[in-house]
Amino acid sequence: MVDLSPDLLKTLNLAMASHQAGNLTQAESLYKSVLSAKPDQFEALHFLGLLEAQRGRLIEADALIGRSLKVNTQRAEAFANHARVLNLLKRSQDALASADKALALQPYFPDALVHRGNALLELRRDQEALASYERALAIRGNDVLALTNRGNALRQLKRPDEALASYDRALALQPNFVDALANRGSLLFELARYDEAAAAYARVVALAPDYKYAQGFLVHSRMYTCDWNGLAENLARMSAQIRAGSGIVDPCVLLAVSSQPDEQLTCAKAYFADRYPAGGPLWSGTPYRHERIRLAYVCGEFREHPIACLIAGLLELHDKKRFETFGISTGINDRSAMRRRLEAAFDAFVEAAGQSDQELAGFMARSEIDIAVDLSGHFGTARPRVFALRPAPIQATYLGYPGTIGSACIDYIIADKTVIPEDRQSFYCEKIAWLPDQYQANDGKRAISEHTPTRTEAGLPERGFVFCCFNNNYKIVPDVFDVWMRLLQQVSGSVLWLPESNAAAARNLRAEGGRRGVEGERIVFAPRVPENADHLARLRLADLFLDTLPFNAHTTASDALWAGLPIVTCLGSTFAGRVAGSLLRSVGLPELITASLPEYEALALKLACDPALLADIKTRLARQRRTHALFDTRRFCRHIEQAYVTMWERHQRREPPASFAVAPID
């Protein structure tokens, strides 16, 4: 700082003292005072950049620290701080370069090693990231940030026990370190240890009420175990945070608990902006002129999974004279028969799980994909950042996520007029491509085992009416459960058959039933079966499927209808809450759709008490599943292909995306 006059040096020292004391407004004013007199003063530029980073103004921080490094290229701490900011901006390759410059100047710099590891982790170079964190810990063994991020690398490398141990070491050093607590909660959730995950998130919320995603993940973890204690208060707090723009919530959480489409839109937009800042576009802006439309499906679930079960038949039926199809897998290869079937369905199949978002988007751009379809949305091993980089001129979301993605980088959402009525388009960032029958693809070749187990083999009573719901536990909410328990009380000898997802959920549901006057043995839990064909066969043992709200049955609804099991649903106000209604209309049973929970309860009771009426519906379903549109995969394929052609033709005419309806094929 020898380049400063005594007065400017005094001002700079006062600025740094104010900054250290947390008086950011005064510090900012003093830094700017120095820079007005000496625009290239290194410390003022660097520390003002750090101040802007503290405020979350990352673009300004990047510019200021970048300017400081043009003044002085020999300051390792500035390169390290620049790497941290660049990581937050998701500019991982630039962050890696900056961290490497810091380490070239100061090889044993643990902060730079941690920032380097973070960049490598984002680039999916997980083993290198782990090595970088290990080097940092060899220098500074009690670094809680390095331990936490080491846990993240181990988690990515599918070494969960070691990851938990790393988080636990960080928390032993600093018990209230919320980043370690939150990441530990996420790993426990992935391991289906939902009650432990909820405990971790509860600590995060207690320590930092506005910590990003924590309130939502607390609710979600408890929903998986059907622990509804404090649910109303937690939902109210989460909703308030969403509307206030604080404490960002993962939009997947909201699908199961919110019936407000405007709230879901606000949530998705805030989440996308936070997680996937704009990049690109990698597409040049000029329409491609290919002999066939290049159509890419990007999915993390090309394996034995509900999404794959729904879409496999469609992929096999695509018209290869008009479409060149690419399957881009961002998830695991489970080496199943389904995986082999999917690989064979595409013209080209790409293993992309190990590629960074930038690498994958670059591959798609070089391949000149005309239409890129995201089958994951925000679920599972989703890669929204790839689409934020705009590798293709037309980008659509379909099937995997029943709601708006929350970004203009997705041009279209493929739907039908039940799941998205025309008067609800304003709740979607995307334009709507309405299919004429139902939006959901189905495979009309799905096998059902010829052998149906006995009730005794399935753990059910030999006599009595069997209500069932094979939706995920997290979709069960108290208001709907109240209805189910009243039905059990009104239908003598009846039972409720649910999937056995985890021991805590079974325990809590039976306890909730007891509080409503229903004996625990009247709630029966079905274990998982390895083969989907066997699961479909056992559905024949049930008499009536009871749907959930605000998140309906989706694949589970198709499972039930394919197996000949009727569903009673209640039409909700969001996409996720209207899917079962869409499927019932497409299979010709609209009378099973209700408009309110009292109507839903009354219809379920009527069907349970009128065997002739229920038998007539089952007979019609058995006939109509073969004659109606729901399971007519070839008809569905022609409709969705026409949607793709319409998108492509608009683009070829250089017209912007616009909502449209596909005319039915007669």
Distance of CA 134 to the CA centre of its chain: 30
| Cβ pair 582, 606 in contact under 8 A | no
Please state which architecture CATH assigns to domain 293-434.
Answer: 3-Layer(aba) Sandwich (3.40)
Whole-number Å distance between alpha carbons of 178 and 176: 6
CB 113 within 8 A of CB 132: yes
C-alpha closest to that of 296 among 358, 381, 387:
387
Q: What is the token pair recorded at 657?
A: 């995306």
Cβ atoms of 45 and 67 closer than 8 Å: yes
Q: Which regions of the chain carry the CATH code 3.40.50.11380?
A: 293-434
607-610's contacts with Cβ under 8 Å and 24+ in sequence apart are 607/544, 607/566, 607/568, 608/465, 608/467, 608/487, 608/491, 608/494, 608/543, 608/544, 609/491
Asked if CATH classification 1.10.3210.10 holds for the domain at 176-275, the reply, yes or no, is no
Q: In the chain, which stretches have pLDDT less than 50? A: none
DSSP single-letter state for residue 22? T
Q: Which of 552, 557, 590 minimizes the C-alpha distance to 574? A: 552
State residue 280's pLDDT score: 75
Q: DSSP assignment, residue 445?
A: T
Start-end ranges of CATH 3.40.50.2000 in the chain? 466-631
466-631 maps to CATH 3.40.50.300 = no
Which residue spans of the chain are classified as CATH 1.25.40.10?
A: 176-275
Which stretch of DSSP H or E encloses residue 415?
Answer: strand 412-415
**pLDDT recorded at residue 7:** 86
The residues, any chain, with a CB within 8 Å of residue 613's CB and separated by 6 or more, are: 606, 607
> Nearest 5°: phi and psi at 399?
75, -50
SS3 assignment, position 517: coil
Q: Rounded distance, CA 222 to CA 415, Å?
A: 31
Return d(Cα 474, Cα 46) in angstroms, integer: 47
Alpha-carbon torsion, ordered 21, 26, 29, 34, to 10 deg: -50
pTM of the complete model: 0.93
Q: Closest Cα to residue 58, out of 26, 82, 29? A: 82
pLDDT at residue 2, as a whole number:
52
Alpha helices in 473-572 (DSSP H): 478-490, 503-515, 532-538, 555-562
Pull the structure tokens for residue 517.
């006057």
State pLDDT tens for residues 277-313: 777 799 989 999 999 999 999 999 999 999 999 999 9
Q: How far apart (Å, rounded) are the C-alpha atoms in residues 59 and 320?
A: 46
